[in-house]
Amino acid sequence: MIQIENLTKRYGRVAAVDGVTFSVPAGSVTGFLGPNGAGKSTVMRMLTGLTPPTSGRATVLGKDYRDLVNPGSRVGVMLDASAQHPGRTGREALTLAALTVGVPRTRVDDVLRLVGLTDDEAGRRVRTYSLGMRQRLGLAGAFLGEPEVLVLDEPANGLDPQGIHWMRTLLRDFADRGGAVLLSSHLLHEVQAVADDIVVIGRGRIVAQGSMAELVAGSGSRARSEDDGALAVALEAAGHTATLTPDGVVVDVEPADLGRVALAAGIVVTDLRPHGSQGLEELFLRLTADDSREVAA
Ligand SMILES: Nc1ncnc2c1ncn2[C@@H]1O[C@H](COP(=O)(O)OP(=O)(O)OP(=O)(O)O)[C@@H](O)[C@H]1O
């Protein structure tokens, strides 16, 4: 659904984006991560035809974004939520967009409901909106044309915790129905919760890409149970190396395998989780350590 091939953007002598290649297939959410200034927005701007690449190509649904017929009905884009006209009401902004994209006006009410903006809020001028309300309006605009692809730059920025949870469900549901989502975010826990794949860039170059499961996978599990001693014995008897710790039994197999052994032994497990897995945050900090502004500090 999205193909980025050897994409490069130079500003003078600086390569803001340098030979970036990745794709986003149907039915998946790809988290696009990188420190400030890494080049995420520049890639998204090139993908949506707002900035011409110096070299390489970015296509959506097999075409350059600019060559799509009525792109608003196929690709939902939110790059800068503050880019709305401040003097218009939220409803006016969406109604104009509905006319441009060619969807019925009733769609405006549908998307307002979808993003949780009330009638009263929709009737207010955008200049009076909070950051989170602008973000919701931007998302409403992205969903307006019932697109197949979503390109969202920092969509969770400014959303309250309920809003973040809601957005995660919305994007997951969109992808599960066959859509493709490219999502940049600095909220790593959110990305970890929703993304199937991740692409990490630092100083314009890709430093890691792959499935979330592969990149943050763990090799073992930890469990607490009503009888940790008996659980350790059962795991050893099943041929695994189990260690009894104050935090439970640690073993070098996947949680599901540990659960099966406990089930077979009739031991009630009260807590079961991956052990030794690096979280996305740890991975991100390690991969982008050289690019971090905090290194000197
Ligand atoms: N129009 C421009 N002219 C010159 N340099 C630019 C321009 N647009 C972006 N850059 C530079 O390109 C680099 C990448 O910027 P970009 O906005 O893509 O980063 P980002 O990963 O989206 O960062 P953030 O997380 O802070 O949003 C930065 O060094 C930025 O200063």
ipTM of the complex: 0.95
The CATH number that domain 220-275 falls under is 3.30.70
Ligand 1 pocket residues where CB is under 6 Å: 11, 16, 34, 36-42
CA of 35 to the centre of ligand 1 (A): 11
* pLDDT exceeds 80 at position 198: yes
- Residue whose CB lies within 8 A of the most ligand 1 atoms, among 4, 7, 8, 11, for a mutation test: 11
The CATH number that domain 2-213 falls under is 3.40.50.300
Q: pTM of this prediction?
A: 0.82
Least confident of 110-114, 179-183, 192-196, 222-226: 192-196
274-287 pLDDT, tens digit each: 776 667 887 788 78
Element (H, E) at 276: none
Mean pLDDT of the 188-199 span: 88
* pLDDT exceeds 60 at position 250: yes
* pLDDT exceeds 60 at position 295: no
Domain boundary assignment for the chain: 2-213, 220-275
Q: Decide whether 2-213 matches 220-275 in CATH topology.
A: no
Residue 63 is given by DSSP the state: B
Q: Which residue has a Cα nearest atom 26 of ligand 1?
A: 36
Rounded Cα–Cα distance for residues 139 and 156 (Å) = 10
Average pLDDT of every residue of the chain: 90
Dihedral, CA of residue 2, residue 82, residue 114 and residue 177, to nearest 10: 10
69-106 pLDDT, tens digit each: 999 899 999 998 677 788 899 999 999 999 999 999 89
109-156 pLDDT, tens digit each: 999 999 999 999 999 999 999 999 999 999 999 999 999 999 999 998
Terminal C-alpha separation, the chain: 41
Task: Tell me the C-alpha to C-alpha distance, in Å, between residue 122 and each of 25, 134, 138.
Answer: 34, 11, 12
